[in-house]
């Protein structure tokens, strides 16, 4: 089965689903597959072309290399300066609620 055939089959499968939960599960799997494929392509392109602007036949990419500092270990920082959890909470912003929906098998 070619990639195009697989895509057509997946789309027809989605169209035939009548339950939103089932549709979410199929789409979620496709997103994960595409994310993996994109990551792999980005690594290949970066290794092949290096930093800068590069053109394909129709589209282009810009490859930049950034150095980022690591995150601060707040637990070690608080321990080193004797900061308690209640003292830390006085600097904390408003709480918020987050709704997560994840497909499961």
How many CB atoms sit inside 10 A of residue 30's CB?
Answer: 14
Longest dimension (CA), the chain: 62
Q: Is 52 left (phi over 0), alpha (psi -120 to 50) or beta?
A: left
* pTM for this predicted structure: 0.65
Reported as a single tens digit per residue, the pLDDT across 24-78 is 888 898 899 999 999 999 999 999 999 999 999 999 999 999 999 999 999 999 9
Q: Confidence band (pLDDT; 50, 70, 90) for 23?
A: confident
Q: What is the dihedral of CA 69, 75, 76, 81, to 10 degrees?
A: 110
Q: How far apart are CA 103 and CA 105, in angstroms?
A: 7
Taking 90 as the threshold, does the pLDDT of residue 105 lie above it? no
Q: Confidence band (pLDDT; 50, 70, 90) for 17?
A: confident
């Amino acid at each position: 089965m070619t990639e195009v055939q697989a895509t057509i089959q997946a789309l027809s499968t989605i169209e035939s689903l009548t339950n939103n939960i089932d549709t979410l599960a199929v789409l979620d799997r496709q997103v994960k597959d595409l994310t993996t494929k994109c990551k792999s392509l980005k690594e290949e392109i970066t290794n092949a072309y290096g930093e800068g602007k590069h053109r394909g036949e129709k589209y282009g990419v810009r490859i930049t290399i950034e150095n980022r500092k690591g995150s601060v270990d707040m637990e070690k920082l608080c321990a080193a300066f004797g900061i308690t959890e209640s003292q830390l909470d006085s600097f904390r912003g408003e709480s918020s609620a987050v709704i997560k929906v994840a497909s499961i098998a």
